[in-house]
Each structure stands twice: as C-alpha cells, then as structure tokens.
C-alpha cells in the first residue's frame, strides 16, 4: 500500500528542499510538480499540447530553475486544460510503492486530497525574496516584486488556487535553518508513518 506525502507552498518557502530530504529519509519517490509546469511553459507554443506531450528530456532542461521559467509556469498553470493534462501523470506518480513525495501548489487540495500527510510550507515574503535572490544572484527587491506577483496569480486563479488544504500542517520556515525545517517535517511524517507499520 502506497504512502503519499503532499507538500504545498509558495515559491522559495523551502518546500522543494524539504520534499527531497523526506524522500531520501524514507526511501520514497519524489516529484517536483512545478517542473511539469516549468517545462510546459518553457516549451512555448500551445501550452495544452506541450503539457500533453511532455518528455523526460523536457524535464531535464537546464533552464527550468530560472526566474523566467517560474513566471512561465505560473501563467500556464492557470489554464484548466493544462492542469487536467498533467493531473493523471501526478496521480500515477503518487501511487508508487513504497511511497511518494510530491511538492507543488495544489497537491494536498487537488492532486492527492487523500494523502496520508499534507504539509503547507511557507515563509515571509521578505525571507523568500532573499532566498531566491541569493539562489539566482538577483536583486532582492526585484525578487520580492516577482514573488508577490506570482503569489497573487497563483492564489487568485480559478482552478486549483494556492492555499493550504484544510487538514494540512502549516510549517513556517521564516525563522528556521533548513536542517531545522527538515527535521521538523520528517518528525511530522514519521508520526504518521509509524502508525502504518505492522
């Protein structure tokens, strides 16, 4: 029986780092679902066709972590037909044995509403902008504007808006070092995982 972990939250909150650490700790599969949308946006052309025909090569592109790819992802993610095209892929991934960790913006609310564990990872706008600026070598003030624009677009879209699932555990990483955030997240998952063991 598979064990799905849904991790949602805004950009630069730490959710990807936490998701990867959890997957390694428990030996689970990991999917950064944002890469699906980044790859769809980066392909250009008709986004619905791009979403329907994504390949492993598309997901391995070296430019998917750029700020431009992030903005493109946010734009195509607002298209209901794009989300529908990627839905089945994500759900099949989540059903893998022994378990899977998916991180994104609608995992706990739409993709895996029955996930065994749901985390909503967040941090203050200023902390997130500083992190992303350091990661990309960019201007923090510009990053703050871009993150706030993206947050607004992601939270106001009609289809699968960014928000915590009703039963998600909210983990604010604003004041936490990454190892502290990872330890806390693993502890939350482990409590549920131990109850599943025979």
pLDDT at 68: 86
Residue 160 confidence (pLDDT) above 90: no
Residue 131 confidence (pLDDT) above 80: yes
Q: Is residue 16 part of a domain?
A: yes
pLDDT at 159: 80
Binding site, annotated residues for ATP: 9-17
Q: Is residue 195 part of a domain?
A: no
Q: Is residue 109 part of a domain?
A: yes
pTM of the model: 0.87
Residue 113 confidence (pLDDT) above 80: yes
Give me the domain span that covers residue 167: 4-188
DSSP lists the bridge partners of residue 18 as none
Q: Is residue 193 part of a domain?
A: no
pLDDT at 1: 72
Q: Is residue 144 part of a domain?
A: yes
In this structure, is the dihedral angle defined by the CA atoms of residues 53, 59, 63 and 66, taken in order, positive or negative? Answer: positive
Q: Is residue 177 part of a domain?
A: yes
What total of structural domains would you count in the chain?
1
Q: Is residue 55 part of a domain?
A: yes
Q: Residue 150: which CATH number?
A: 3.40.50.300
pLDDT at 153: 87
DSSP lists the bridge partners of residue 121 as 171
Least confident of 37-41, 83-87, 143-147, 156-160: 156-160
Q: Is residue 196 part of a domain?
A: no
Binding site, annotated residues: 9-17
- The b/e string for 102-137 (b: 16+ C-beta within 10 A; e otherwise) is bbbbbbbbbbbeebbbbbbbbbebebbbbbbbeeee
| CB contact at 8 A, 102 and 33 | yes
pLDDT at 117: 98
Residue 70 confidence (pLDDT) above 90: no
pLDDT at 66: 85
């Amino acid at each position: 029986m598979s064990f799905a972990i849904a991790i949602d939250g805004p950009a630069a909150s730490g959710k990807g780092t936490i998701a990867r650490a959890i997957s390694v700790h428990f030996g689970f599969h990991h999917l950064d679902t944002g890469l699906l949308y980044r790859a769809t946006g980066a392909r250009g052309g008709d986004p619905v066709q791009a979403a329907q025909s994504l390949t492993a090569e598309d997901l391995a592109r070296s430019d998917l972590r750029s700020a431009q790819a992030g903005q493109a992802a946010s734009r195509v993610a607002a298209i209901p037909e794009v989300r529908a095209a990627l839905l089945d892929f994500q759900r099949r991934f989540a059903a893998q044995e022994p378990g899977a960790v998916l991180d994104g913006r609608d995992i706990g609310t739409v993709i895996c509403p029955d996930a065994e564990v749901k985390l909503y990872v967040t941090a203050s706008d200023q902390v997130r902008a500083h992190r992303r600026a350091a990661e990309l070598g960019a201007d923090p003030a510009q990053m703050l504007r871009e993150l706030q624009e993206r947050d607004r677009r992601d939270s106001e879209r009609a289809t699968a808006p960014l928000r915590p699932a009703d039963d998600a555990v909210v983990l604010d990483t604003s004041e936490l070092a990454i190892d502290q955030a990872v330890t806390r997240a693993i502890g939350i998952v482990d409590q549920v995982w131990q109850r599943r063991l025979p």
